Amino acid sequence: MYVDLTRSSVDLLRLRKQSLASNSDTLNVTLTLEDGSTYSEKGRLALTEVAVDESTGSVTLRAVFPNPQHVLLPGMFVRARIDEGIMNDAILAPQQGITRDAKGDATALVVDANNKVEQRSVETGETYGDKWLIVNGLKSGDRLIVEGTGKVAPGQQVKAAEVKNDGGNA
C-alpha cells in the first residue's frame, strides 16, 4: 500500500542527507491511524524519483507499507512519522525565546555566568510543537531568556528566575 506525504523541498534535502549518512536510500515510516492507534507494520520511504512542485516548493514523497490484514484502505487519512534518527545533544528552545534581528537572522538572549544578558546568533532547524530545534549557538545549560525579552538589553545585569523545563534542553 502506498502512502503519499507532502513535505517541503528543504525537508527533502535534510532527509536525503540523513539517508546518505546511514548508507541507505530509504527511511522508516510509522503510521497513526484515524482512531489514534499505531499501525503495526513499518513502512519505507523511498527518496528516489521525487519532483518539486514549482508553485509551492513542496514535494510528494511515497512510503510503501505492507498491508497483510487490509487495515489500510485507499483514500484513508493517516498521520505519518518519518524516523529521522535521534539527536542525543539536541537543544529545543521555546519559540518565544528566539527572535529575529533586522537582517532576519535568529538571535537569543541568554544570561551568562555573571548574570548579565548576552545576545547570541543562533541557527534554527525545524519546529517541534512550540519549540525550535537549535542547530548552533546554544548549548546544554545555557539560560535562555523566554519572558521579558523586550525589557532587557545585552550587558544588562539581571536576576534570572528559572522556569519549569518541559522537555527541551534549553
For 156-169, give one letter per residue: b (16+ CB within 10 A) or e.
eebeeeeeeeeebe
The bridge status of strand 131-136 relative to strand 91-94 is: antiparallel
The pLDDT of residue 21:
61
- Of 24, 53, 82, the position where a domain reaches its end is 82
Measured distance CA(113)–CA(119) in Å, rounded: 14
In which residue ranges of the chain is pLDDT below 70?
A: 20-25, 85-86, 165-170
pTM: 0.57
Is the same domain home to 57 and 95? no
- Together in a domain, 74 and 126: no
Give strand pairing partners of 88: none
Is 157 a domain residue?
Answer: no
